[in-house]
Structure 1
Amino acid sequence: MAQKAKEMVVVKGLELGRYMGRWYEIASFPSRFQPRDGENTRATYTLRDDGIVDVLNETWSLGKRSYIQGTAYKADPNSDEAKLKVKFYVPPFLPIIPVTGDYWVLFIDDDYQYALIGQPSRNYLWILCRTPHMDESVYNELVQKAVEEGYDVNKLHKTPQADPPPEGNQAPEDTKGVWWFKSLIGK
């Protein structure tokens, strides 16, 4: 049984500049903000001059590229803990409702090649890597860290990743946000 009372250990002293760039989703807890059949899911982070991070999340579903853009920023600028807030506007095709969530970096390796991301409710979890595929021993190590932080890792779903990954401009886009509606009705 996962212990809910334990306070999560969060990375301290995260170097945001080194964290920027593309990360591939190796596994995650399914989220209503992503298509259930999503593949090649990835996030690209770009640090702006004002310290805000531009976020681009992409996924492919039925051969179409879906994406949502947002921003991330430190929850407490005076803290050295890697606790970020992310803000997206939904639905993606009619961006009117701001949705803000927690993005806590629970683990990152010294070379910034793989990371474990969670948030305080433990309803969301992501295993990210700089490449589309992760060594199984590294994956198992990150899963074990998630267990130690009180996550129910039975909910982890591995994300199919193509090698090489698709280029963003080579796929038709799901401009109607159909996946967003589908995800809301559970299809």
Structure 2
Amino acid sequence: MSKKAMEVVKNIDLARYMGRWYEIASFPSRFQPKNGMNTRATYTLKDDGTVNVLNETWSDGKRGFIEGTAYKADPKSDEAKLKVKFYVPPFLPIIPVTGDYWVLYLDDDYQYALIGQPSRSYLWILCRQNHLDEETYNKLVEKAKEEGYDVTKLKKTAHTNPPPEAEDAPEDKKGVWWLKSLLGK
């Protein structure tokens, strides 16, 4: 069965897209801590036009994180198809691993987004707040379904209020799961 080409957001304003996004729901990876919560991503635009990516999650009170770089897959294209590169292991930059990051939906105010990639094995619903109203959530799920995703695999991410401050938590040294989950290995 041939699936139609995925629709990707065009003419994204990367500068506006920067900042912190909370993971509202995602396809869980078997490497991700089952009890991972308060998962979020922080994007910072660098002078060379690439994006610094900081992914964080909390598990058993410990903060796990991995940093990487995102950049447009094709600088000439107007489509929001990014590549994200992490180095594994995070503290020893030896093996760069690259994954796809396609923005499938983004509201006009850059407040919530649907992120996928060509294999349809991964899906993320992100929001500037750590909660999203049911109507908007369902709209994003519907959009994912239209793009050929098996939305029954979506699992909502638990968040605490207020969200934790990074400095408060002891570090989780096993932060390799981000990378594995990105690669689907």
Distance 1:12 1:164 in 2: 33
CA contact (8 A) 2:43 2:52 kept: yes
Against the structure 1 CA distance between its residues 127 and 49, is the aligned structure 2 distance closer, same or farther, given a 3 Å change threshold?
Answer: same
Distance 2:176 2:118 in 1: 27
Aligned amino acid, residue 127 of structure 2: C
CA contact (8 A) 2:87 2:93 kept: yes
Against the structure 1 CA distance between its residues 4 and 43, is the aligned structure 2 distance closer, same or farther, given a 3 Å change threshold?
Answer: farther
Task: Name the residue aligned to 2:65.
Answer: 67
2:143 corresponds to 1:145: yes
Unaligned runs of 5+ in 1: none
Task: Name the residue aligned to 2:22.
Answer: 24
Runs of 4+ in 1 over 6 A off after TM superposition: none
Map of 1:1-150 to 2, 5 A cutoff?
4-32=2-30, 34-150=32-148
Distance 1:144 1:87 in 2: 29
Give the superposition deviation at 1:99.
Answer: 1.1
Against the structure 1 CA distance between its residues 178 and 103, is the aligned structure 2 distance closer, same or farther, given a 3 Å change threshold?
Answer: closer
List per-residue Cα deviations over 1:88-108 (Å, max 9, x = no partner): 012334442211000000000
State the superposition RMSD in angstroms: 1.8
List per-residue Cα deviations over 1:143-172 (Å, max 9, x = no partner): 000000000001101000111100000011
Distance 1:55 1:149 in 2: 25
2:155 corresponds to 1:157: yes
Q: TM-score, normalised by structure 2?
A: 0.92
Distance 1:38 1:123 in 2: 19
Distance 2:91 2:112 in 1: 31
Q: TM-score, normalised by structure 1?
A: 0.91
Unaligned runs of 5+ in 2: none
Taking every aligned residue pair, what percent have the same amino acid on both sides? 74
